[in-house]
Amino acid sequence: MERELILQKRKRLRIILNVAFLTLFFIFLSKADDFLDPYFIRILNVSAVYMTMAMAYNLVNGTLGQFMLGPNAFIALGAYTVALLTMPVQKKALAFIIQPLIWPLNSICLPFLPSLILAGIIGAVAAYLLGIPSFKLRGDYLAIVTLGFGEIMVVLASNLISVTNGALGLKDIPGYVNLYWTWGWAFFTYFFMRWLRTSSYGRAFEAIREDEIAAEAVGIDIKKHKLLALTLAGFFLGVGGGLLASLLGTIDPKLFSFFFTFNLLIIIVLGGLGSFTGSAIAAFIFVLLSEMLRSVESPMDIGPVHIPGIPGMRMVVFSLLLIFIMLYWQRGLMGRKELSWDFIINKIYPLKGVKDVGSATEA
């Protein structure tokens, strides 16, 4: 009885701490325009969008343990959905100069939120349809199938000119996105993934990751849970693509090449496969490093030696970082742990058997 009372107090304190943290953070965002320059605000926006996409990608690769290489496809679907639904009709007519945009896309313009939700739904439907045949395969074969799907989407984006405008891409996409949109979705994704991980579905995902045959032996429906994880990931990847399109204001097929998947792969490996906190932290580090490493792509003089700028050098640095992590630091920043308030809560309401960091459940 006393243990139940303490557990209730701990749960109540955790909710209070979460609400207090979110309140303080959104107060910081409300004041960010006053003391941060536009460049750093853009870094914060891009970081939050990458957080949303990385956590969704980690759900399949980390929590479920299925190696998937096609998140760029769902991101592209979300980005083009938001772009085509939010652009004014007049701008669409001006943008599609090679072939006119097909009906009904050429005559509709929706508000941002419904467009973003539709982007997520289209990403989820695509993920579900891809998952039906893909989950008949395991290991490297699944990675190859999803890699092929990603490349197919890039080819379609380049050649379906009457829908995507081909290689010209889409410009003047309305910029609805701000810090509230990007960080709001990042926090929503984070708390949803944390809740999912501690639910019966999350336990089933982890059981499949550890031993698929044993999970099936205890009654877990393997295909159903794999499809569920991939569909949820497709939804949040689609939403991330929609946020990215509105943030950048212009998209084209090259943006969604395999390099996008490679970037997300670096983030989830750096943060720790199976840790959503790690993915969020690593996404911020990745975006910050991408900006800091711009200098390595610019011409520089070291004494009498002139080194010309080499485009793409940042990716060389990130590739070396990925190789180093895979060889010597496979657990990444967080391993499979999540940050929690347990350190503070244990000081106020100590309870035997509860860990300080990364404990997923108390009961």
Taking alpha carbons only, the member of 294, 271, 211 closest to residue 39 is 294
Give the span between the Cα atoms of 278 and 63, in whole angstroms. 12
Give the span between the Cα atoms of 58 and 60, in whole angstroms. 5
Looking at residue 297, its pLDDT comes to 75
Give the span between the Cα atoms of 191 and 204, in whole angstroms. 19
Give the span between the Cα atoms of 66 and 143, in whole angstroms. 8
3: Cα separation from own chain's centroid = 38
Which positions ≥6 away from 146 have C-beta within 8 Å?
68, 69, 70, 73, 130, 134
Looking at residue 1, its pLDDT comes to 67
Taking alpha carbons only, the member of 64, 171, 49 closest to residue 119 is 49
Task: Report the 10 Å Cβ neighbour count for 62.
Answer: 27
Angstrom distances, CA of residue 317 to CA of 291, 297, 313: 13, 11, 6
Looking at residue 358, its pLDDT comes to 47
Looking at residue 353, its pLDDT comes to 63
Give the span between the Cα atoms of 228 and 224, in whole angstroms. 6
Give the span between the Cα atoms of 341 and 345, in whole angstroms. 6
Give the span between the Cα atoms of 153 and 162, in whole angstroms. 15
Looking at residue 362, its pLDDT comes to 38
The residue with tokens 């699944």 is 142
Rounding to the nearest 10 degrees, give the CA dihedral for residues 211, 213, 218, 224: 90
pTM over 0.85: yes
Looking at residue 192, its pLDDT comes to 96
Residues of the chain whose pLDDT is less than 50?
Answer: 356-363
- Report cis status (omega within 30 of 0) of the bond before 104: yes
Looking at residue 355, its pLDDT comes to 54
The token pair at 317 is 């640095």
Which residue blocks in the chain are alpha helix, DSSP H? 2-35, 38-58, 71-86, 89-95, 112-134, 140-159, 161-164, 179-198, 200-210, 212-217, 222-248, 258-271, 276-292, 313-328, 342-348
The residue with tokens 């085509």 is 84
Residue 251: beta bridge partners?
170
Angstrom distances, CA of residue 265 to CA of 60, 282, 287, 351: 12, 11, 14, 38
Looking at residue 178, its pLDDT comes to 92
* Cα distance from N-terminal residue to C-terminal residue, the chain: 13
Torsion sign across C-alpha atoms 267, 273, 279, 281 = negative
CA angle 41-45-47, nearest 5°? 115
Give the span between the Cα atoms of 115 and 242, in whole angstroms. 8
Looking at residue 34, its pLDDT comes to 82
